[in-house]
Chain A
Amino acid sequence: MRRAVWIAMLCIGGAPLAAGAAGPAAYGADPAASHLDFTGVQAGAAFKGTFHKFTAAIDFAPDALATAKFDVQIDLNSLDTMDKDRDKTMRGPDIFDVARFPTAHYVAKTFTKTATGYSATGALTLRGVTKDVPIEFRFVPGSAGAQLDGTAQLKRLDFGVGQGDWKSTEWIADVVKVSFSLSLKPRA
């Protein structure tokens, strides 16, 4: 009888602890120390741009991939390619059309371990089109959070990014490389 009570007490008391250990930790990206960049190819030459404003809700633990989740919202108006003319064109109706589609949204729920880190497949909603985009990343836990660095590749025309003349892949490459470096802090 006393043994049964002990077991029951252990089960009740241990359940939340076990759940806490197996579930992912909830992080947010520190805006000051995080970057979300892209590299396009224009007339044969690569150019780099960045999105200054984005939020990332990262639920992740290496031992709880099944319940991990990334939810990233990108303010497309915050794009910066270090040239005002190009930025203005890219915000315009033929490229991102930020007046109609101010944000891009990325949600990943499928994660797998790879040789060098992790990969995930998530749904990117951009310019009103939702399509799967895989990402590769490394996750390094730190004392007060974690560091998340990774890359992705997407085809801009899959999302209609480039209308009219801008559909030309001869002068503007279809493939755009994305890279991110997120300094993760515990989410409130």
Chain B
Amino acid sequence: MPISNPLTRYTPVAQLLHWVIAALIVTQFALAWTADDLPLGLHKLVLLARHKSIGMTVLMLAVIRVVWRFTNRPPDLPPDMTRIERLLARATHIAFYVLLFAMPLTGWMMSSAKNYSVSWFGLFTWPNLIGQNEASFAFLKSTHDYLSDVLLAIAILHILAALKHHFWNRDDVLIRMLPFRKSPRGP
């Protein structure tokens, strides 16, 4: 007997990618906010080096996730959702996918523009995407900052929506992304 029904739950791989990426993004915000308050020095350099390594990890996982998303159909949304709700859910999910690429790529380009090549945990160095340029750096930094605000806003919306589905609508929208609940709620 299968533990999960593929039509009502996300696949274990999709769940794993969702939660690992979510944890890494929380770490990214913590590192970025801590580093922002520090003066230029070794401590800031170390935090930003970790931020970059994790960011490149998110980028690699994003590639896997998109491939997985297009080759594994996600469970359908509950039938009682309105058109507006479906539209909003879909727009939020598309925005997440766009940001999963846009955040690391603008960060990587920022580093290239400032002539700080990106190392992956000291194991290897990624090539520079663009040449050193102060104006490009300033533009990319403000873009990266702005996108991080958008990401934070839709993440809050996403979490509130998941909680609303779970506690208000009492459907299985949240449960189907949880690995440990054995059976989804009935309709």
Cα A105 to Cα B45 in complex, Å, equals 30
Q: Which of B46, B119, B132 contacts A45 (CB 8 A)?
A: B119
Out of A43, A46, A84, A88, name the residue touching B45 (CB < 8 Å). Answer: A43
B122 interface residue, CB < 8 Å from A? yes
Indicate if the CB atoms of B119 and A83 lie closer than 8 Å: no
- Of all chain B residues, the one with the shortest Cβ separation from A49 is B115
Alpha-carbon separation in the docked complex, A45 to B115 (Å): 10
Distance (Å) between the CB of B95 and the closest chain A CB?
A: 31
Partner pick for B40 among A82, A89, A168, CB 8 A cutoff: A89
Q: Which residues from chain B contact A172 at a C-beta distance below 8 Å?
A: 42
List A contacts of B118 (CB < 8 A).
45
Q: Is the interface of A mostly helix, strand, loop or mixed?
A: mixed
Cβ contact of B117, chosen from A46, A166, A171, cutoff 8 A: A46
CB of A43 within 8 A of CB of B132, answer no
Give the number of residue pairs across the A-B interface with Cβ within 8 Å.
Answer: 49
Q: Evaluate contact between B132 and A166: CB separation under 8 angstroms.
A: no
Give A89 to B39 CA distance when docked, in angstroms: 11
CA distance A46 to B114 in the complex (A): 13
Is B125 touching A166 in the complex (CB atoms < 8 A)?
no
Chain B residues 110-127 with CB under 8 Å of chain A are 114-123, 125
Contact with A along B28-54 (1 / 0, CB 8 A): 000000000000111101101100000
What chain B residues lie within 8 Å of A88 (beta carbons)? 40
Q: Which of A83, A89, A166, A171 contacts B116 (CB 8 A)?
A: A83
Interface flags for A61-96 (1: CB within 8 Å of B; 0: not) read 000000000000000000001111110110000000
B43 contact from A44, A84, A86, A165, Cβ within 8 A: A165
Residues of A within 8 A of B41 (CB): 89, 165
A42/B114 in contact, CB under 8 A: no
Tell me if B40 and A43 are in contact (CB < 8 A): no
- Min C-beta distance of A35 to chain B, whole Å: 17
Tell me the complex Cα distance, A79–B49, Å: 23
> Is B116's CB under 8 angstroms from A42's CB?
yes
Residue of B nearest to A84 (CB): B134
Q: Are A47 and B40 in touch, CB under 8 angstroms? A: no
Residue of B42, B45, B120 with most partner-chain A CB within 10 A: B42
Contact B115 A83 (CB under 8 A): yes
Whether B125 and A44, one on each chain, are in contact in the complex, defined by CB atoms closer than 8 angstroms, is: yes
Q: Which residues of A contact B123 (CB under 8 A)?
A: 44
Cβ contact within 8 Å between A168 and B132? no
Given contacts A46-B117, A89-B41, A172-B42, 12 further A-B contacts (CB under 8 A): A42-B116, A43-B45, A43-B46, A45-B125, A48-B115, A82-B115, A83-B116, A84-B134, A85-B40, A86-B116, A89-B40, A165-B42
